[in-house]
Amino acid sequence: MNLEESNLLSLFIWILLKGGLMEKKGTVIMERYELGRLLGQGTFAKVYRGRNIKTGQSVAIKMIDKEKVLRVGLIEQIKREISVMHLVRHPNVVELYEVMATKTKIYFAMEYVRGGELFNKVAKGKLKEDVACKYFQQLIESVDFCHSRGVYHRDLKPENLLLDEDGNLKVSDFGLSALFESKRKDGLLHTTCGTPAYVAPEVISKRGYDGEKADIWSCGVILFVLMAGFLPFHERNLMEMYRRISKADYKCPQWFSPKVKKLLVRILDPNPVTRITVAKIMENTWFKKGFIPADQLRLQPEDKSDNNHNDRKDDLPSSSNDNSEIRPESVDAMKPICLNAFDIISLSPGFDLSGLFEKPNNQKAEARFTTKNSASAIVSKLEEIAQIEHFNVKKKDGLVQMQGIKVGRKGQLAIEAEIFEVTPTYHMVEVKKRAGDTMEYEQFCAKELWPSLKDMIWTWQGEQQQQLPQPL
């Protein structure tokens, strides 16, 4: 290496250090998280393995260079990503725990998913049909949940689908997502985005598109890739690839079963109007085989008393101040989830985070109330109501699920109540329908649930506010 090259290299390293882009292993962020190894990086962000200093929990820390995103005008996209990730809390979606910021950096503390990208598994070759079906089921259920929250991902592909240590799928990277309020007066989205090989034909046409139908197309391409080991539309010439996409010009390998081929024809329909819906996909006989909804899996007993007992320690710095501990399940098994400042701001009606970035969404799917009663008192009251109304109850980690014994118009009514601790003497409860008929749910809440809870309610938030009993 000559002197000029050496000087250039030194200058380059100095620039990186000056910008704070080279983070040392063991660096502590905001006195809360200790950084481990680098997991990946992009133009504006890096993702590190991290550890919560207080609890010992493994996390992924996404570090965004604020100056860069401001310079290129992407700060609104970052804000939208924060808002979206708060809305889509689902077992098959990577969870955002906390957002922090300094003068130069924005930090996302997120769920650490150990299994890596689904892309890495497919890169080794096609998957067996039952395995591909399992991943597709989890993908469709998570996409359906996102759509129910008015969120459209718009960049679904195997690289953005992660796998946890149990082999369950987690949707990630909502950087290109859009909210329901992003639609124009014609009811369509108009921003052309996504990965060419996975993008729907109507997105390419630039005449506006339905976010739900565009995501469904991408799911179909993913299913094809899982089953085949290669893309249905792949050409070196981009215009030729777009031509094939617009005509759904693809061929299924001979090992595809007739049921899979038939389903793909419905999903990869170039006409979004006649393209199959998520609801119809979930009614498909091939899709339903062995399907277990995520909310049922979530409430099944776990064998692990400590989710981090299998964490690898070799890629994290050691610390003598490790405050992590293993708590027996019998001790405070219904401990509610603690809300951090970000959660409180996001959930408060007067400070709804999404309102800072998007127009208000009047289609709230849940109701919330606050109470000065303890978590155990809340649970006891819900169990009492369930017993009177003949509901089965499952509970775990601040989550109470009530499922009716009677079969209604759309199956058994299932209601979920999640308890959040704001302070030790102040709790928030979020109540929402998980299954069954909406009208039956509203009638049950209005006639049975809310009146039974009125003695412990302090304040309300939700669409039913005008109909609910006022706090005493």
Q: Is 335 annotated as a binding residue?
A: no
Closest CA to 33 of 2, 57, 13: 57
For residues 419 and 76, give the distance between their C-alpha atoms in angstroms, rounded to a whole number: 31
- Alpha carbon 120 to chain centroid distance? 21
For residues 220 and 223, give the distance between their C-alpha atoms in angstroms, rounded to a whole number: 5
CA distances from 20 to 25, 69, 98, 100 (A): 13, 15, 21, 16
Q: Name every residue whose Cβ is closer than 8 Å to that of residue 345 and which is 6 or more positions away in sequence.
A: 351, 353
**DSSP characters for 258-290?**
HHHHHHHHHHT-S-TTTSPPHHHHHH-HHHHTT
Range 236-260 burial, b when 16+ CB lie within 10 A, else e:
eeeeebbeebeebebebeeebeeeb
Which SS3 state, helix, strand or coil, does residue 255 take?
Answer: coil
CA dihedral 368, 370, 371, 375 (to 10 degrees): 60
155 is catalytic: yes
Q: Which pair of structure tokens corresponds to residue 186?
A: 């014609």
Q: Identify the active-site residue in 65, 130, 144, 155.
A: 155
For residues 201 and 224, give the distance between their C-alpha atoms in angstroms, rounded to a whole number: 16
Q: Name the fold adopted by 337-467.
A: TATA-Binding Protein (3.30.310)
Task: Supply the CATH classification number for the domain 20-111.
Answer: 3.30.200.20
For residues 355 and 154, give the distance between their C-alpha atoms in angstroms, rounded to a whole number: 21
Q: Do 401 and 416 meet the contact criterion of CB atoms below 8 Å apart?
A: yes
Closest CA to 358 of 95, 146, 106, 79: 79
Pairing of strands 399-408, 391-396: antiparallel
Helices then strands, each counted (H, E), the chain: 16, 17
For residues 181 and 281, give the distance between their C-alpha atoms in angstroms, rounded to a whole number: 26
The residue ranges of every structural domain in the chain are: 20-111, 118-293, 337-467
pLDDT values of the chain reduced to their tens digit, one per residue, 472 residues: 554 444 444 444 444 444 444 455 668 888 899 999 998 887 788 999 999 999 999 999 999 998 888 888 888 888 888 889 988 989 999 999 999 988 889 999 999 999 889 999 998 899 999 999 999 999 999 999 999 989 999 999 999 999 999 999 999 999 889 888 788 878 899 988 899 999 999 999 888 999 999 999 999 999 999 999 999 998 889 999 999 999 999 999 999 999 999 999 999 999 999 999 999 999 999 999 999 888 776 544 444 434 444 444 444 444 333 333 333 333 344 566 666 555 555 554 444 433 333 444 444 457 888 888 888 888 888 988 988 888 888 887 678 888 888 877 777 888 988 888 877 778 888 888 888 888 888 888 888 888 888 888 877 655 444 344 433 3
Task: Supply the CATH classification number for the domain 118-293.
Answer: 1.10.510.10
Helices (H), 289-365: 294-298, 341-347
